[in-house]
Amino acid sequence: MPTEEQTDSGLMPEKPAEDSGGKDVPDWAKDPVKAYEEVLKTRREAAAERVKRQELEKRVSAAPAKDESQLTELAKRVEQAEKRAAESERKALITSLAAEYKLPAALAARLQGDSEEALRKDAEALAALVPAAPVPPAQMTKPAPNGIAEGETIDQKRARLLGAGAGGVNPITGRG
């Protein structure tokens, strides 16, 4: 039988509860020791439930923070990917405009503007400042002392001298 030190309130009934008809009253209500044990059991269960509830509350409160941090990280990644894509598109546009306006690579890197229109106007302005590339003069072949024109291969000389017909076939030998 528990002593007063074992009880929570320090008081413990000395005699069992009176019978109230017998059928509706549980066994532990008839015996103060059993009643006390039942109270302790209920308190332990309640304490265990409180601990479980507190753990669940911690998980629930931590879950949104974790989800928010993941969402923040994903948003950063998306933003970085969008920046890289925009930069790649801009570089492709600059390369295209440089080729269209026949700008040297050094000037293509200097194109400025935030839109295609602005970049196009800048490319036009730079193209107007750049002189047209000189057309290299056609190379004249002049006979050399050995009879081969400069820049002429042996096959070209053979074709010239022997008069290769259509398709590059020599009319005399029948070979190409």
Residue 156 lies in a domain: no
Show the CA angle centred on residue 14, arms to residues 10 and 17, nearest 5°.
Answer: 115
Residue 77 lies in a domain: yes
Range of the domain at 88: 24-129
| Predicted confidence (pLDDT) at residue 162 exceeds the cutoff of 70 | yes
Structure confidence at residue 17 (pLDDT): 52
- What are the backbone angles phi and psi of residue 141, rounded to the nearest 5°? -95, 125
**CA end-to-end span of the chain:** 124
pTM above 0.85, yes or no: no
Query: Do residues 113 and 121 lie in contact, with contact meaning Cβ atoms separated by under 8 Å?
Result: yes
Residue 124 lies in a domain: yes
Task: Count other Cβ atoms within 10 Å, centred on residue 166.
Answer: 6
| Predicted confidence (pLDDT) at residue 86 exceeds the cutoff of 80 | yes
What type of residue is 154? I
Segment 18-74, tens digit of pLDDT: 555 556 667 766 777 887 888 888 889 999 999 998 888 888 777 777 778 888 888
**Domain count across the chain:** 1
Residue 169 lies in a domain: no
- Tell me 22's DSSP state: S
Segment 98-142, tens digit of pLDDT: 888 888 888 888 889 889 999 999 999 988 888 776 666 555 555
